[in-house]
Chain A
Amino acid sequence: AQSVTQPDIHITVSEGASLELRCNYSYGATPYLFWYVQSPGQGLQLLLKYFSGDTLVQGIKGFEAEFKRSQSSFNLRKPSVHWSDAAEYFCAVALPYNNNDMRFGAGTRLTVKP
C-alpha cells in the first residue's frame, strides 16, 4: 500500500545543534516529494520540493533535504537549529498526473531547547 512514514513523533534538539527529520515512502514509482512546516494555529508552509534532478534540494529557512531512491527516503536537515524552528514538520508525497493523491506523513514535532 502507498504510504508516507515519519518515524519520529517528537524530537528535541538544542539550539545550534544539527537536525535531521526522517521521512520514508512506499510507492510504486518515484513520487514528487515535499516538506512543509506548521507553526501552532497556522497553515502549512512549503519548505522545499523534489521533482527530479539533483537529489540534494535546498529550501527556505536554511533547510535542505536529500532524496535517496535506494532507501525510499527524503530526510530533512538543518546544520544549526534556531529557536524559531520549533514547529510541526510534515513530509508529503504526490504521484505524477494524479490530482488527489498527495499523502502527508503524521508529522514530527520539533522542540528546541535553549
Chain B
Amino acid sequence: SQTIHQWPATLVQPVGSPLSLECTVEGTSNPNLYWYRQAAGRGLQLLFYSVGIGQISSEVPQNLSASRPQDRQFILSSKKLLLSDSGFYLCAWRTGSNQPQHFGDGTRLSIL
C-alpha cells in the first residue's frame, strides 16, 4: 500500500535561518506531489506542485522554493525564513487528476 512520510513533525527556527522539509512517498510511481501551507484556523493554500522529477510549479510568489530530486521525494526549502512563514505545512500526493490527494501528517513550523 502507499504511504507518505513527512519530517520533521515539529520545527522551531529563528528568523533568517534556512529551512528544509522533506516528504517521501512509498508504494507508487510517478505521483503528483504537492506542498500546502495551512495558517492557524485557516484553509489550505497550495504552494507548489510537481508532476515529475525536476518539474516544479509555484502557485504563489513567496520566500519558499521546492525541489523534486527523485520520483518520490519532494523538498520544501527556504534560504532565510520570515516570521510570516510560520504555519502547518502539508505534503500530499495523488496518481492522477481523477484521484483524491493523500496527505502526510504535516510539519508544524514556528518562527521565533
Q: Out of A36, A42, A96, A100, name the residue touching B98 (CB < 8 Å).
A: A96
Neighbouring B residues of A99 by C-beta, 8 Å: 32, 49, 51, 97
Neighbouring A residues of B103 by C-beta, 8 Å: 36, 43-45
**Size of interface on A: residues with Cβ below 8 Å to B:** 26
Instruction: Report B74-109 residues with CB < 8 Å from chain A CB.
Output: 88, 90, 92, 97-98, 100-106, 108
Q: How far is the CA of A23 from the CA of B58 in the complex (A)?
A: 27
Q: Are B44 and A90 within 8 A (Cβ)? A: yes
Neighbouring B residues of A90 by C-beta, 8 Å: 43-44
- The distance from the CB of A48 to the nearest CB of chain B, in whole angstroms, is 9
Q: Which 10 A-B pairs have the closest CB atoms?
A: A43-B103, A106-B43, A44-B103, A104-B44, A43-B105, A100-B49, A43-B106, A46-B100, A34-B100, A49-B100
